[in-house]
A = this chain, B = another copy of it.
Amino acid sequence: LNIFERKQEARTPFFQVAEVTDTTEDPAVWGQNFPKQYERYLRTADQVRTRFGGSEAVPRTPTEADPRSVVAQSKIEEDTRLKTMWAGYAFARDFREERGHAYMLEDQTFTERQAVGQPGTCLNCHASLAVVYRQVGDGDMTLGFERLNAMPYEEARRHADRAIACVDCHEPVTMRLRVTRPAFLEGIRAWKAAVEGIEDYDPNRDATRQEMRSFVCGQCHVEYYFRGEGKRLTYPWTNGMRADDIYEYYQEIGFKDWTHAITGAPVLKAQHPEFEMWNQGVHARGGVACADCHMPYLRSGAQKISDHHVRSPLLSIDNACRTCHPVESEELKQRAERIQVNTARLRDQALDALVDLIEDIGAERENGRSDAGFEAAVEMQRRAQFYIDFVEAENSMGFHAPQEAARVLGEAINYARQGQVALHAPDFSPRIVPRPSEDRYSVAAAGD
């Protein structure tokens, strides 16, 4: 017997005050139907710092070029080793702690990283585009995506009015979640085909409701690069989503983000791989979605709503963690911070190792060295740097996958220090380990 199903039919559709369609971009209009979600959504403008996350409101004097009167703290000033790691790249100029969704468009518009001239591609993750794609593409979303990517940033920017809004995550009326970013549709389809052998995957058709509670975030909180002339936004997942798999991907296509100013190494920049890292953790295995922790249910009046004040769960532990973990909030905070401190400690050692290597290579380069040992050292820098950045750029300081973050940093240290050895020891050749899906253990597993 299925009382359960009968219950479902009983459920009522939402009562609409204002009419909302696929072209209603303004969240205020959607907000008339869902004032509680809207009110919380506006709160993403708040700035509160946690030990390793949140963000600090740093006042600044607005200028012609950058009218912002408040920004988040600078990460490169807090840890100048990052400038060495990114020497010669725009990130060494300006890189700040990220803050709430409300700021995504302005922070992108006014970062000094714009000075080097960016493509329209940047916009994909920093503005409300669900409607814009179709406008620019004359009704065709993918075409709009391609046209925006190909434009210079300033031009594309003119098409965008605001930060992410309701229409970017929701279907109107039903409020069903949806993926609106072509780059994710293409990335996840390629991943499903290559890694899981599932052809023609479409999250909007095939994903469960629970999966969508992570996919909507995975549209932007991922590692990416600009492919080819059209600067197509691409997610490098066809070898898998672990740091090693993605590095392998870049090796195969011979990609580099820039040439390192001190060492001349062809290096890579990893960026916010939250979705990828989360996938390696036990929470993901347990079916815990991004929204479970970052948009926990909140009692508001007579009802529970998803907290649209997307932020650090450590600022709302009672709602974000305690229903699943019936433990004191303070204890949960300590468990999370203990994981983060372990990660931070290893991150420090990895960054020190990398800086040592960069300085050594730099010195030898001055002396015009270019032998095998030198080349090996340069290769080690490229690898170590990407691995470190994969954890550094991932914004949970290891929480999303504690052991994986530590493993990646441990291997990064191995590569960075081996680079130094290669430089100084006559005939030492560094040991490069096959990626997890191909090492002796996975092979054994297959054999099991």
User: Does A245 sit at the interface, judged by CB under 8 A?
Assistant: no
Flag A143-173 by CB within 8 Å of B: 1 or 0 each. 0000000000000000000000000000000
Residues of A bordering B, CB below 8 Å: 2, 51, 282, 285-286, 326-327, 331, 335, 337, 339, 341-346, 348-349, 352-353, 356, 360, 398, 402-407, 409-411, 413-414, 417-418, 420-421, 423-425, 428, 431, 433, 436, 439-442, 445, 448
The reply to whether B410 and A335 form a contact with Cβ atoms under 8 Å apart is: no
- Please measure, in the bound complex, the distance between the C-alpha atom of A440 and the C-alpha atom of B348, giving whole angstroms: 10
Q: A349-B433, A406-B406 are in contact. List 4 more A-B contacts (CB 8 A).
A: A352-B431, A398-B403, A417-B420, A420-B428
Contacts of A356 in B (CB 8 A): 421, 428, 431
For residue A432, give the distance in angstroms from its CB to the closest CB of chain B.
10
In the complex the two chains form, what is the Cα distance from A353 to B425 in whole Å? 14
Q: How far is the CA of A51 from the CA of B353 in the complex (A)?
A: 34
**What chain B residues lie within 8 Å of A414 (beta carbons)?**
349, 353, 413, 417
A345 to B243 alpha-carbon distance, docked (Å): 15
In this complex, what residue of B is CB-closest to A417?
A: B417
A51 to B403, CA, bound (A): 19
Residue from A339, A348, A410, A413 with most neighbouring chain B CB atoms (10 Å): A410
| Contact A441 B341, beta carbon cutoff 8 Å | yes
Can you offer 12 A-B residue contacts whose CB atoms are under 8 A? A286-B327, A345-B441, A346-B410, A346-B411, A356-B428, A356-B431, A403-B405, A406-B406, A406-B407, A417-B417, A421-B421, A424-B425
